[in-house]
Structure formats: structure tokens, C-alpha cells
Amino acid sequence: MAVHSAPMTRQNIVGAFIVAVFGLSACSNGVFAPLADKGAYQPAPGGGEIIVAGQGDTVHSVARRFGVSLPSLIAANGLKPPYFVVPGQRLVLPAPERYVVRSGDTLYDISRLYGVDMASLARINNLMEPFLIVPGQALILPAAARVSTRANGPAQSRNLEPIPNPAPLAGGRFAWPLKGVVITGFGDQGGGVHNDGINIEAPAGTPVLAAENGVVAYAGNELPGLGNLLLIRHSDGWVTAYAHNGQILVRRGDQVSRGQMIATAGTSGSVLSPQLHFEIRLGTEAVNPLDYLDKQLASLRRIRQTQVIF
């Protein structure tokens, strides 16, 4: 029996990631997110802030939570080895570097710009799914980002180029992305688990094909459990997602055609048998792929319930 993940359950991981990658945060209902906090901030000399250490806090945990480097936190507070802190101790936080969001920015772009993972950037800014950011919002940069920026020059020189607009859709329905067997269908899987796509089982190395004309918006493996992931943006607001790939054959910004080989089936992420997790979304809303895929091949597929892991 195949063991696979059903990515996107309660927390809508792929949908939230699409917002972060595509910049759907530019909508009018975006709000400023508060900075990560453990009690009230107070001004400190030199532009920093003062926090009060809580139960279980260490110098390392405080530095990580507030996105400051460990040496600068130690120096700002005159701490001596072994650098213990106690509950109730007031600590000065060195003023962190901040990035002011510009029009068109996405959280994903900013994380790539400064060489940090998106999860860290979201965590220290207390950003929750779907990671909405708006122009003028000030984001704290993790300590690692400052090292990366200084080592590689001004951030502006490393800005990501915007992806081109996708070509018009080629057909009325989406093409099947993989020749195989549907082992898990869309929707409720029991136990509070919801699958936002379908999982198609096939031998390792089987070609994974673009379901429609589009442009590659994301190619990487930054989402735990999904392995090698592709997101393709299509015309009219459609997005397709392809997870657990063995090998990715395209890059961000590549234009792809309906039926073009874009990856191979594999076992990346939280799966033990070769398969493809495939989603179709209108914006960030997942729809049942079986309602939108070519009907000619639907009779060749069967759905089998399998164990779900995260």
C-alpha cells in the first residue's frame, strides 16, 4: 500500500505559498502584521528596544525570536560567559535591519533577495498564512540576512526579475499531468484531513507534463513534505501545482506549453512510493482536478484510499 502525504490540510499550505509567491497580498484587504512579541516593547538607547526575559528564555532563543545576531545581543547587554539570562531580566535588543515593502513585493521574493528561508522571515514578523504584506510595511530581517546582504552587495542589485505573463490557455480542459493511477482523491480523507488535490501513482522517472500553457512561478523544495515542487501560473487566474517530483526540468520564469515535460515522478517529500501530488487552483482556491481534467482519460484512473502522513 502506498504511503503518501495529502498536502494541504487544515492550514492550506499550498494556497498560502501561492499568495507568498504570486503577491496576491496586494489586494485591498491586506493588513499590517504585528512584530513577534513576548511582552511589551520599550525604547532603548541607540534605537533598540528592551524586552523582559521569560521562563525558559536563553540568549540564543531571544536572538532567534527577535532576528538579531547572538554576538550583537551579548555585546548590547554586556553579558559574560556562560551568558545566562533569568526570568524578569531586562534585555536590550540591538536595532535590527528592516526592509520596507515596495509595490509588487512578495514575502517569497524578499526571502530570496536576502538569502533567508521564507519560514524564518514569516516567523520573526509574526506573519500568519496567507502571509499578507502591503507596501510601506516594515519587515524585520533575520540576522542571517544582514550577513548575506553585506557579502553580496546592495539588495537592489539582486532583486528577482518578475515572471512574464502566461500564454493563453490551449484547450477547454486541463491535460492529465501524468500517466498513472489516482490513489487518493480530492477532499475529505477522514480524521480531519483534507486533500486539496489528487495523488497519481506511477513508476519513478515517468514524465510529468504541464497541464496547460503557462509560466513557471516556483521551482524548489522549500515546503516540508511536498518535496520538489512546481507551481505554474496560467491565464485567467489558474494555477497548477506539482509535488513530490523526482527531478525538476524547468526553472522559474520559463514559459511552458500544454503537454511539455516539466519533471519526473519521484519520491521527494513525505512519500515512500513514486507519485505526483497535483492541484488545480483558481487563484488560491483549490478545486477538484477531476472536474477540470480531460474526461477521456478519467475512466483509466481509479481512486484508492491510502494512509496519510505529514
Q: If pLDDT is split at 50, 70 and 90, which confidence band does 164 have?
A: confident
Q: What is the dihedral of CA 240, 242, 247, 250, to 10 degrees?
A: 10
Q: CB-hemisphere CA count at 13 Å for 203?
A: 2
Count of CB atoms situated within 10 Å of the CB of 5: 25
Q: How far apart are CA 43 and CA 288, in angstroms?
A: 51
pLDDT computed for residue 166 by the predictor? 93
Q: How far apart are CA 173 and CA 294, in angstroms?
A: 6
pLDDT computed for residue 113 by the predictor? 81
Compute the mean pLDDT over every residue in the chain, rounded to the nearest whole number: 76
Yes or no: say if 303 and 201 are a contact pair by the CB < 8 Å rule: no
| % of the chain exceeding 70 in pLDDT | 72
Q: How far apart are CA 259 and CA 142, in angstroms?
A: 41
Q: How far apart are CA 227 and CA 246, in angstroms?
A: 9
Location of C-alpha cell 509595490: 103
pLDDT computed for residue 214 by the predictor? 96
Q: Classify domain 166-309 by CATH architecture.
A: Distorted Sandwich (2.70)
Cis peptide upstream of residue 7 (ω within 30 degrees of 0): no
Yes or no: say if 177 and 280 are a contact pair by the CB < 8 Å rule: no
For residue 232 the three cell numbers come to: 505554474
pLDDT tens for each residue of 170-210:
978 999 999 999 999 998 888 777 889 999 999 999 999 99
Domain ranges (residues) in the chain: 166-309
pTM: 0.59
pLDDT tens for each residue of 102-155:
887 888 888 878 777 788 888 888 887 667 788 888 888 876 665 444 434 333
pLDDT at 16 over 80: no
Cis peptide upstream of residue 168 (ω within 30 degrees of 0): no
